[in-house]
Amino acid sequence: MGRGAGTAIKGAVMLKIAPQALEQLLAGKHLAMVSGTNGKTTTTHFLAAAVRAGLDPGGTRVVHNADGANLHGGITAALSDNRSATWAIIETDERVVADMIRLGHPEVLVLLNFSRDQLDRHHEIKALGRSWRNALEAAGERGPVVVANADEPLVVWAAQTAREVVWVDTATTWTQDASLCPQCGALLLHDQPDETGGQGGGWRCSGCELAQPAASYRVVDGRIVDPDGKSFDPELQVPGAFNISNAACAMAAAAQLGVPSATAIAGMRTVTAPAGRFATTRFGDTTARLLLAKNPAGWAEALPLAQSDVVVLAIDSAAADGRDVSWLWDVEYEQLAGRTVVATGPRAQDLAVRLAYAEVACRCVPDLAEALDGHPEPVDVIATYTPFQRLRKMGGV
């Protein structure tokens, strides 16, 4: 019908015909999972590339849901594409983590972060954190080794019940979703970096013992330091400090699967545009780079990457974006002042109002094709999920 790749509907049909298909396809595989609000697609690509580099030079023994279809249907469809695979590297939606732990008995589970996202679908993030915590507790000694972001209080709390945790200090700077302790509800205290620009002392609860744990893997000044003290310059082909953090988590997970750090980072350097993120393509005579941002934390990372004189911002509120667009008011669009900004997508008017309050002049052009037409210089496009997928299709990415 030409409406998409067909991955999700393929898996949905399979599960309708054979409700046990997901569990059966997972049986006998070495399973590694990646979940979190932001970065899970890129991190899964990093981990799959690391495993291929270290364990599967022929590229036939690894199955990976590379297109980012991360619900039950998408995962089932991806697994069915290579039923004989030894290694399954699976991006997993936050809501599906508990089911995948129960059905697939993963060896490794990477937990990246929690941020307010699609509140009409996910509700408050502590509910998701509690589901992870309960699933890990129920798994007991059969549960996975968890690679967890030590900078994220809710991730730390959720991972406490795991049989083993490898902590990663990702040098995260976003703290707006970590104000209250998930354990006791008291205020969290966040130490500031010192005057030399070094790392701060992390976070701690003002009312109980919950605090940032010491990490085995660390991101320091844009480099990744492994447990042996070896420092690696990632030299990734995807931009942003957040992707160095993602690579650190992937390196830690790859080590649990038997891939040395140097081999893992070499594999990760082959990742260029995971599921269209950071891809550069053409729309008629316009050259555009595509950036995905789904929530305030994602926008905080994406906006500094937009360096073009003209910046196109695409917004929608379909189910995959989240119906509620009030999160626009938590994004610091003020940093775009003085640039040429085009607001596009079905909710372009809402964005235009937010930009007006930020004192950022913009043109409101709801049609995506029209918004991308006629730019003689390359432009950066930052989009929420649904317009991002439309732009991928329009640009042949």
3-state secondary structure string across 369-394: HHHCCCCCCCEEEEECHHHHHHHHHH
Q: 62-64 and 87-91 as β-strands: parallel, antiparallel, unpaired? A: parallel
Distance, CA of 32 to CA of 111 (rounded, Å) = 11
* N residues, the chain: 397
Our measurement of the distance from residue 393's CA atom to the centroid of its chain's CA atoms, rounded to an integer in Å, reads: 21
The Cβ of residue 258 has, within 10 Å, a number of other Cβ atoms equal to 11
8 A C-beta contact, residue 383 and residue 291: yes
Q: Tell me: is residue 181 an annotated ligand-binding position.
A: yes
Distance (Å) of CA 244 to CA 30, 111, 234, 235, 301: 25, 15, 7, 9, 12
Q: Tell me: is residue 364 an annotated ligand-binding position.
A: no
Q: Which of 120, 309, 324, 373 is catalytic?
A: 324
344: nearest Cα among 283, 388, 375: 388
- Strands (E) in 52-151, as ranges, are 62-64, 87-91, 108-111, 145-149
Residue 60 amino acid letter: T
Distance, CA of 313 to CA of 293 (rounded, Å) = 10
Strand partners, 30: 87
Q: Tell me: is residue 205 an annotated ligand-binding position.
A: yes
Our measurement of the distance from residue 256's CA atom to the centroid of its chain's CA atoms, rounded to an integer in Å, reads: 20
What is the token pair recorded at 320? 């995959």
324 included as an active-site residue: yes
If you search the block for the tokens 């619900």, which residue do you land on?
Answer: 71
Instruction: Give the DSSP letter of residue 180.
Output: B
Residues with catalytic roles: 324
Residue ranges for the known binding site are 181, 184, 205, 208
Residue ranges for the known binding site for Zn(2+) are 181, 184, 205, 208
